[in-house]
Chains A and B, each alone.
Chain A
């Protein structure tokens, strides 16, 4: 055990990059040796050159910011509605009995099955895309916050009852501090779902400026370097969202403890 625990940072870093390096080397070797059609697997330097060009003319960044703007709009709408609904269902027995079963069934319908309906109702342009992204962000917000309210420890509720707290005081001093972790889980999941949905919306609905459009264009023109670049970008954005969510969570939760 202790030998494992003492594995130095250097060794762990080396282990982390070893496999990716091997894969990259194999990639480079196969595309140069002619084992694989360079159209299917362009040499690394081509991808890097493409990245450099795209970075200079700014096309890829414009597309990225269009996607992110769409993502953000849908996320804000969906997460806000999900949070409000989650609070309502958590605190009102009546609302839970009325809306709960329907929302549970709604969750079973695969998200992307809504695309055709939304495309017809809201149009396949910007409103349809944002509505779809909002729908994706709605469910995780709703479920986690609903559960968060239910999981407020019973003794906190008892204390508030003994002290004859009003609803507002209960919310401020008991419920919100106790629910913060659940709220964060919900918002983080909503962020990731919204990003998935952004890509989906851009692939499914009308072509619009955005990463999804660039991917489709790369596919149609058989520009593998462009497709690979967009995947890299998608991964980076996903990782960025995760880091952001983690950071803000630690910051806020630390404040709660102090």
Chain B
């Protein structure tokens, strides 16, 4: 507390209180500075603050003079224009509807520019097909069922790969968290495998297992496996020791311990892993379908690209984005549900 009498601190306090005109703020500033002043970064802060306060003071004085001169003239004509402008700004800045309007305005502008470009023929359809064409393609593909066919194939593939990879990841992560010895044996190899970009395995796996379903399942599973293993391992390892001690006091059996203590506490990290895994798996599946497939959403896009029918490509991207969004939303909901004990605490 001897810091408080430092001359520099005192002068900053005086300036700060002048700047904000309030006793409470003065005390707050003193408290805050007491904490910050003891470090080099605090000194820099104080020095910079002195400068900026001096600037602010002289600016204040100048603007006060100007204001008193202007106010007479201005007060007569607070026009409707001005009010509308203020309302508009408020809408944009904080209001809920304002945020919605702003957030939608960018996509709408892009859509408008897209529409304009196709109406005026700025870009050929092979480079940028008209929005109406994309919409029509989507409708046709929904009507003849081919969109649903491709989507269900891709969804089934990703779910199969996800189930495989997540199961393996949960087992390996749990094993490494449970036994230090097994962790020492397994982790280096796991780390080495995880350094290779998933797509880097494609040529090897094509040679080993061909380009059929096995390839897709393996690659999706691999890309899910890595984040799930990491999440599970970290989640279980980082369960606070105190929680386990509580369980020990209650002489919980190991199943009870797992169900009531370890798993609930590890859920957030495990779910982070699962979520990242599903998003990785979806990415990987799209990539593999683009590269080596004869059906599925990715294949349709590769096909559209070859025929220069970009409406197929863009329609595919929309569906892929929608599914990615749905996956994220779904796992987020499940995670919240499993974490409700935390909210109650």
Chain A residues within CB distance 8 Å of chain B: 4, 7, 12, 15-20, 23, 40, 93-94, 97-102, 105, 108-117, 119-121, 155, 158-159, 162-166, 169, 172-174, 177, 195-196, 199-200, 203-204, 215-216, 218-219, 222, 224, 227-228, 230-231, 234-236, 238-239, 242
Contact = CB atoms under 8 A, between A and B. Distances in A.
4 A-B pairs with least C-beta separation: A163-B49, A101-B103, A116-B305, A238-B195
B48 A173 contact: yes
B227 interface: no
Contact of B25 (A12, A99, A162): A162
Given A17-B188, A120-B127, A199-B197, A98 B106 contact: yes
The residue in A93, A119, A199, A224 that gathers the most chain B C-beta atoms within 10 A of its C-beta is A199
A116 B290 contact: yes
Interface of B: 12, 16, 19-20, 25, 28-29, 32-33, 36, 41, 44-45, 48-49, 52-53, 55-56, 92-94, 98-99, 102-107, 110, 126-127, 180-181, 184-189, 192-193, 195-204, 206-208, 282-283, 286-287, 290-291, 298, 301-302, 304-305, 308, 310, 313-314, 316-317, 320-322, 324-325, 328
B92 A97 contact: yes
Contact of B204 (A94, A99, A163, A227): A227
Contact of A224 (B44, B49, B200, B207): B207
Given A117-B310, A215-B200, A235-B195, A16 B282 contact: no
Contacts of B314: 117
Contacts of A159: 32-33, 36, 45
A11 to B, nearest CB: 8
A219 B207 contact: yes
22 contacts: A15-B185, A16-B185, A16-B187, A19-B189, A93-B94, A97-B99, A110-B320, A112-B298, A113-B286, A113-B321, A159-B33, A162-B16, A162-B32, A163-B52, A164-B19, A169-B48, A169-B52, A172-B48, A196-B198, A215-B203, A219-B206, A242-B195
Nearest to B60: A164
Contact of B106 (A4, A99, A203, A216): A99
B328 A203 contact: no
B196 A235 contact: yes
A102 B320 contact: no
Q: Please classify the interface of chain B as helix (H, G, I), strand (E, B), loop, or mixed, using the class held by over half of its residues.
A: helix
B305 A120 contact: yes
A120 B28 contact: no
Contacts of B188: 16-17, 19-20
A163 B12 contact: yes
A234 B20 CA distance: 58
Contacts of A204: 287, 290-291
Contacts of A158: 28, 32
Given A121-B127, A163-B49, A173-B48, 11 more contacts: A20-B189, A40-B207, A97-B99, A109-B324, A120-B127, A165-B49, A169-B48, A200-B287, A203-B199, A228-B204, A238-B197
A114 B193 CA distance: 27
Given A108-B328, A215-B203, A166 B52 contact: yes
Given A98-B103, A159-B45, A163-B49, A113 B316 contact: yes
Contacts of A110: 282-283, 286-287, 320-321, 324
A110 B192 CA distance: 25
Contacts of B208: 40
A97 B103 CA distance: 6
B181 A15 contact: yes
A203 B324 CA distance: 23
A108 B324 contact: yes
A164 B103 contact: no
A108 B189 CA distance: 31
